[in-house]
Structure 1
Amino acid sequence: MSPSSTLIDSHCHIVFRNFEEDLEEVATRWREAGVRALLHACVEPAEIPAIRSLADRFPEMRYSVGVHPLDTQHWSSDTVDVLRQAALDDPRVVAIGELGLDLFRDKNLEEQLAVLRPQLDLAVELNLPVIVHCRDAAEPMLEELRTRRSEGLCPAGVMHCWGGTPEEMHAFLDLGFYISFSGTVTFPKAFATHACAEQVPEDRFLVETDCPFLAPVPRRGKRNEPAFVASVASRVADLRGVDVDRVAAVTTSNARRLFKLP
């Protein structure tokens, strides 16, 4: 990438313990890689104070508040109020999530829906986009969002760490969602993800790391970090047959539009 190119890591988790010892070095690397902004996702309310502290430390950071579908045990009767207050208290909260459905690891669909629905309602109430985790659950997720759209209650948002089929992708695009590609797009056998990266409209996709998970090739299996979003952008550029500077420019523009970033 040219020195003037900028990138946004639209989904990361640097609050995790495996960043404690070298986070300043990690930040130096993401800045050197051209990452000018990053969006820190939240998986459960207990994380919010620590994520807020990271936003104090790194002015290029914005964040979300929410409950992950594999963390339903952290949902209680007052959780939606906690999330609402956190969002109202800090203008750096630019999304609700990560929320969604995951039927790969858990099969408790009704329990996950009971946690998902009030968060979608909150996003509509606060006019914030949602960050959607959807694994082996495209059908029930689409059903939920289509019902909401028919009622005028479907928020904007992004399908994060995209791993579905092109057909599923187009269904979410039809609902107005963005598609975000992570390190999985660099994996040699991720053929469906490759096809999605080729087909997605230029104004509707983002890049992310989902760090510390899913480090891109050639660092697969190692700790991921925000600087490595450059490898994601490079692979998407290859798949689309365009210059990586073009991918950097459009994904930065798309992330700024979706999350109303400065």
Structure 2
Amino acid sequence: MPATLVDSHCHIVFRNFDDDIDLVAQRWRDAGVRRLVHACVEPSEIPAIRALADRFPELRYSVGVHPLDTEHWQSDTARVLRQAAIDDPRVVAIGELGLDLFRVRNLDEQLAVLVPQLDLAVELDLPVIIHCRDAAEPMLDLLRDRASDQRCPRGVMHCWGGTPEEMAGFLELGLFISFSGTVTFPKAEATHACARVVPADRFLVETDCPFLAPVPRRGKRNEPAFVAAVAARVAELRGESLEQVAQTSSANAARLFGLGLDSV
């Protein structure tokens, strides 16, 4: 019997899953994946993600706008996201939101999209799924400022790739840290160091599929079943068993997102 796992961040709405989604689902079930959290990158995805949740009862999802998709933010987007979250109890987070200064340097534009989503998460008492690439300093500055007057939502740093020092800053804000297939990459030394020292009650595992397939499938399409390889590498780095890491990360995900694993 495989260990119980939660893929805390995936994107199976993408077209490269159209032809074999039922086989993909069978593989994640065979691998012990009991819950999936499907991240949203822009509002037009929401109906298709909702349809996937209708089809696969283990799926929960977020609603939000990715920092590299700021062109999808319109005058009514906050209202659209708010209504989508209110209408469906399977919406367990706001996001994927955040800052990405790796590809573009439009910080002000990204902040203009990020801040109202943080406000929405606080209003609805939902966690946030944070994408943060080459932007730890401005993200920490923003969240610390908001924490000073209780406007920093709970949430998770998705697909963690920062340093232990940066991780410490986000942990101080009460955030969780999620490890993806990058933790299996031989040269991801900072990520390895973070996985070793992150507190047991504050880490998750994810695939971010179809991206970032773990070793030995690197460069191929990723899928939720492969979260087992992520958990196995985290276990190796922490000197723990796969069963320990699976149990701990799943309990953490259930606590953060209110997943109710007992009902699956």
* TM-fit CA distance, 1:239: 0.1
1:97 counterpart residue number? 95
Q: 2:114 aligns with which of 113, 116, 126?
A: 116
1:135 counterpart residue number? 133
2:153 counterpart residue number? 155
Residues 1:57 and 2:55 aligned together: yes
1:247 counterpart residue number? 245
1:41 counterpart residue number? 39
| Contact persistence 2:7–2:206 (CA under 8 A) | yes
* TM-fit CA distance, 1:7: 0.0
* TM-fit CA distance, 1:4: 5.1
Amino acid at match of 1:141: M
Q: 1:234 aligns with which of 232, 235, 238?
A: 232
> Residues 35-81 of structure 1, C-alpha deviation per residue, up to 9 Å, x if partnerless?
00000000000000000000000000000000000000000110000
What stretches of structure 1 of length at least 5 have no aligned partner?
none
* TM-fit CA distance, 1:5: 1.7
Q: 2:27 aligns with which of 17, 25, 29?
A: 29
CA distance in 1, matches of 2:240, 2:156: 23
TM-score, with normalisation over the residues of structure 2?
0.98
1:73 counterpart residue number? 71
> Residues 85-119 of structure 1, C-alpha deviation per residue, up to 9 Å, x if partnerless?
00000000000000000000110000000000000
CA distance in 1, matches of 2:258, 2:11: 20
* TM-fit CA distance, 1:151: 1.2
SS of the residue 1:179 aligns to: strand
1:192 counterpart residue number? 190
Residues 1:258 and 2:262 aligned together: no
SS of the residue 1:193 aligns to: helix
What stretches of structure 2 of length at least 5 have no aligned partner?
none
User: Paired residues, what number?
Assistant: 260
CA distance in 1, matches of 2:233, 2:2: 19
| Contact persistence 2:158–2:179 (CA under 8 A) | yes
Residues 1:168 and 2:166 aligned together: yes
| Contact persistence 2:234–2:245 (CA under 8 A) | yes
> Residues 205-256 of structure 1, C-alpha deviation per residue, up to 9 Å, x if partnerless?
0000000000000000000000000000000000000001000000000000
Residues 1:8 and 2:9 aligned together: no
CA distance in 1, matches of 2:150, 2:244: 34
SS of the residue 1:211 aligns to: coil
TM-score, with normalisation over the residues of structure 1?
0.99
CA distance in 1, matches of 2:130, 2:99: 8
SS of the residue 1:167 aligns to: helix
